[in-house]
Chain A
Amino acid sequence: MEKKPTQEITRLQELTYELIVGQAMSPKTITVSPHDTMAQFREVLRVNRISGTPVLEDGEIVGIISIEDLIKALAAGELAATVDEKMCRRLETLYADEPLVSAVDKFARLKFGRFPVVDREGHLVGVITQGDIMHTLLRRLEVDYRAEEVHRYRASHIFEDIVADEAALVFGYRIIGRDFDRAGAASGNLKTTLSRLGFDPRIIRRVVIATYEAEINIVVYTDGGEIVAEVRSDRIRIEALDNGPGIPDIDLAMQPGYSTAPEWVREMGFGAGMGLPNIKSCSDQMKLESTVGVGTRLEVIIYADETG
């Protein structure tokens, strides 16, 4: 079995495109002068607990020097030498407004420990290490994760927080007819909402299947309509409404495999005549009313205290 190269885009990689170098760098920059001695440079490293700095002369970056250069100087007994003699002159910098992915690439390509970060005028604004990148990515991932946790926490307590004999939340979703690009968006948004509200995944699955089929029916057959979900802690009622063309024979439409979908819709895998039967099998109660030329109203009730 041959193994093909895989193109993998992880959330981390995505983040390296979303974030810029300036967000990950250390802005407080310690620098040394080319005229400093290696002994002075050693003190700078020790006091600031860092492992390298850019070398600045008259505000211009002239090189970069690291702990490795110091170790070599120590081994050669050249602590009195100047930074100018020992620094790396090959100037590789990053712009603060470049995407972080440029930094990742540069570290991988050049194997440097750090890069000075400059603005577009060439002024030093910070230094970036691989550790800075890792730290920034981890912090960002944690923020993303926490944001969803907070949503979940807030929403899942909402029914407990409401003081009423009966409480219901109503969510409305507009469905645009013939817009296959957006088909499924309403079901997806309802799914996100219900899971944040803390409903059992098995209940959510049934709601989502019924809603998706209703949504697809509106997209395929009508010029548009709406889906309204009325959510209580013990049951979810979904209403799908459209303004036509209507179903001439509901009993026939309910038969598995019966479909009036056009060929091109079937080619996409829709219109197999399984939509309404699917809705029925997911519902505790289902009511379908339709008038030809006027519209269709579908009502589905799913109890949340039952499982499966």
Chain B
Amino acid sequence: MKLREVVNTTGLTVRTTAQRLDVEVTGGYASDLLSCVLAKAQKDNLWVTLQAHPNIVAMASLLDLAGIIVTEGQELDASTVEKANEKDVCIMTTDHATFTIVARLAELGVPGVD
């Protein structure tokens, strides 16, 4: 499933570059601990998190993630948005909680990575 379809069917708001919306999403991972994400999340995965600071951009860029979904209406720092656009990292936001979003992604058939 393309990132664009995920965005449309789950009502996510794309907050940074739309460059990666045609990426085929390969799976998902949810955690707020960066080391866990680094160890587990794979290329073209979606990462669901509460973290909204600029360092999430480096994670997504280093791991070639499809995108980051920031949950619970967390506001993105201005520098997060700026960095993400610079690094072609797609950040989406939602008012829903992490669990709700993960459940929806699972419904759409996005597999979890273990």
Contacts and interface: CB of A to CB of B under 8 A. Distances in A.
Interface of A: 1-11, 14, 180-181, 183-185, 187-188, 191, 201, 205, 208-209, 212-213, 216, 268-270, 272, 274-275, 278, 281
Given A183-B58, A184-B62, A188-B62, A269 B8 contact: no
Contacts of A6: 7, 13-14, 18
Given A183-B55, A184-B58, A268-B55, A209 B39 contact: yes
Contacts of A184: 55, 57-59, 61-62
A216 B56 CA distance: 13
Contact of A9 (B12, B16, B51, B59): B16
Given A4-B13, A272-B33, A274-B35, A11 B53 contact: no
Nearest to B12: A4
Interface string B57-79: 11101110000000000000001
A237 to B, nearest CB: 19
A103 B3 CA distance: 30
Nearest to B36: A274
Interface of B: 7-19, 21, 32-39, 43, 49, 51, 53-55, 57-59, 61-63, 79, 85, 87-88
A227 to B, nearest CB: 14
Contacts of A3: 8, 11
Contacts of A272: 33-36
B55 A180 contact: yes
A208 B64 CA distance: 11
A208 B62 contact: yes
Contacts of A213: 35, 38
A8 B8 CA distance: 13
Given A209-B39, A269-B33, A270-B34, A10 B62 contact: no
A209 to B, nearest CB: 5
Contacts of A10: 17-19
A278 B37 CA distance: 11
Nearest to B59: A184
Contact of B62 (A7, A181, A191): A191
B11 A4 contact: yes
A3 B94 CA distance: 11
Contacts of A275: 35
Contacts of B62: 184, 187-188, 191, 208-209, 212
Contacts of A187: 58, 62
A169 B8 CA distance: 46
A9 B17 contact: yes
Contact of A188 (B21, B33, B58, B79): B58
A242 to B, nearest CB: 19
Nearest to B17: A9
Given A6-B7, A205-B63, A278 B13 contact: no
Nearest to B54: A181
A191 B63 CA distance: 10
Nearest to A9: B17
A2 B13 CA distance: 11
